[in-house]
């Protein structure tokens, strides 16, 4: 009898160990369900104070992870393993995730504050009726330059990057769509081109730019430009805002012939475990005071018109980061090119990076 009791106690102990082990594994993997909200976002893309405020208000523990590209985010969610409740992709990736049925539809009846979003940023082509996504930030791709090395009248267009005066003095963002896109725009072509002849011409033109290219980098551009290690760089508007704060000689330009207009929206992956918490977070970020705090901290443009009114005037009236409708009409949104042409863009970009001057 004692042996049987010992056996039963042993089995019970093993069950308890396994149960708590699974719970710890779930927590480590962001799968703690109702007690945790697991967010997958770009690096440095939310004010940490807002996360703490949300935790205090909601009672959830936020498990926050970051990615450095839409493609990396897509692959990780597609592979599974971590059940993200919220992620924040760009418009073309939202299109792709919708096609792959990776997102849950947004129940607008559960939203409070959607009326705070500027109508210009709702019902866009990549997600008509906002059935799967809610606006978070928006911005542009442009050129940042240092007036100690180059005059204002010398850098207004993409073609100016090819000027001999900028030899070994231009930094490029490490992105195929961005770099191929600027070359396409400089020739009057769409940055979503699927015309092989246009893509070949754009790559050939880029190859002639290599004499001027000092480096192809990512987040390091901010440090390099603030420290005046290059005369000009191609970057996103929010990154530029941070650079301008760090050096009064820097300026941001959106080439008038065209560039990228991008949108990052909040979505709920199909594998989410805490749906209730997902809506609470979306509604939290729709509140004007929270959206304004986030925009001032990050530097990107808020689509929340009520939040924009709360921003300092020197921010909300700055057309470098809140461009006019006249400027916006010349900009293009990235489209999902499909696997074939995404591969072509990546291959051509690799060819450019390996090109010998």
- Binding site as annotated, residues for spermidine: 92
Checking DSSP bridges between strand 259-266 and strand 134-146, what pairing results, if any? antiparallel
What residue ranges of the chain have pLDDT lower than 50?
Answer: 2-4, 20-23, 25-32
For tokens 């033109």, name the residue.
205
Q: How far apart are alpha carbons 246 and 225 in whole angstroms? A: 9
Are the C-beta atoms of residues 182 and 332 closer than 8 Å to each other?
Answer: no
pLDDT, position 153: 87
Neighbours of 354 (CB within 10 A): 8
pLDDT, position 120: 93
SS3 per-residue string spanning the chain:
CHHHHHHHHHHHHHHHHHHHHHHHHHHHCCCCHHHEEEEEEECCCCCHHHHHHHHHHHCCEEEEEEECCHHHHHHHHHHCCCCCCEECCEHHHHHHHHHCCCECCCCHHHCCCHHHECHHHCCCCCCHHHCCCEEEEEEEEEEEEECCCCCHHHCCCHHHHHCHHHCCCEEEECCHHHHHHHHHHHCCCCCCCCCHHHHHHHHHHHHCCCCCEEEEECCHHHHHHHCCCCCEEEEEHHHHHHHHHHCCCEEEECCCCCEEEEEEEEECECCCCCHHHHHHHHHHHHCHHHHHHHHHHHCCECCEHHHHCCCCHHHHCCCCCCCCHHHHCCEECCCCCHHHHHHHHHHHHHHHHHCCC
CATH class, range 139-261+332-356: alpha beta
Task: Please write the tens of the pLDDT for every residue from 195-206.
Answer: 999 999 999 999
Q: Where are the domains of the chain?
A: 1-28, 29-138+263-321, 139-261+332-356
pLDDT, position 32: 47
pLDDT, position 6: 55
Task: Please write the tens of the pLDDT for every residue from 331-348.
Answer: 999 999 998 999 999 999
pLDDT, position 25: 47
For the domain made up of 29-138+263-321, give the CATH fold. Answer: D-Maltodextrin-Binding Protein; domain 2 (3.40.190)
- Binding site as annotated, residues: 92
Asked whether this chain's domains 29-138+263-321 and 139-261+332-356 adopt the same fold, the reply is: yes
pLDDT, position 27: 47
């Amino acid at each position: 009898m004692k042996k049987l009791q010992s056996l039963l106690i042993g089995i019970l102990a093993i069950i308890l160990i396994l149960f708590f082990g699974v719970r710890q594994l779930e927590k480590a993997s962001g799968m703690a369900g109702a007690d945790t909200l697991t967010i997958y976002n770009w690096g440095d893309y939310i004010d940490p104070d807002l996360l703490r405020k949300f935790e205090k208000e909601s009672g959830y523990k936020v498990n926050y992870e970051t990615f450095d590209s839409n493609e990396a985010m897509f692959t990780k969610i597609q592979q599974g393993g971590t059940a993200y409740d919220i992620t924040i992709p760009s418009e073309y990736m939202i299109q792709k995730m919708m096609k792959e049925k990776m997102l849950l539809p947004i129940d607008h009846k559960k939203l409070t504050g959607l009326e705070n979003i500027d109508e210009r940023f709702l019902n866009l082509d990549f997600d008509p009726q906002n059935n799967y996504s809610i606006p978070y930030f928006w911005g542009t791709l442009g050129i940042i330059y240092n007036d100690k090395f180059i005059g204002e009248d010398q850098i207004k267009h993409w073609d100016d990057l090819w000027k001999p005066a900028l030899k070994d003095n231009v930094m490029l963002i490490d992105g195929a769509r961005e770099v191929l896109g600027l070359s396409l725009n400089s020739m009057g072509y769409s940055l979503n081109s699927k015309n092989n002849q246009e893509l070949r011409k754009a790559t050939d033109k880029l190859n002639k730019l290599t004499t001027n290219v000092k480096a192809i980098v990512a987040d390091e551009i901010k440090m390099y430009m603030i420290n005046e290690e290059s005369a000009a760089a191609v970057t996103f508007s929010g990154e530029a805002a941070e650079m301008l704060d760090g050096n009064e000689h820097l300026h941001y330009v959106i080439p008038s012939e065209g560039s990228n207009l991008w949108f990052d929206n909040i979505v709920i992956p199909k594998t989410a475990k805490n749906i209730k918490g997902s809506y609470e977070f979306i509604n939290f970020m729709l509140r004007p005071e929270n959206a304004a705090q986030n925009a001032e901290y990050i530097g990107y443009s808020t689509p929340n018109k009520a939040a924009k009114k709360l921003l300092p005037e020197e921010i909300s009236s700055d057309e470098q980061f809140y461009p006019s409708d006249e400027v916006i009409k010349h900009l293009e949104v990235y489209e999902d090119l499909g696997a074939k042409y995404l591969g072509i863009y990546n291959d051509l970009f690799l060819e450019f990076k390996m090109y010998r001057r």
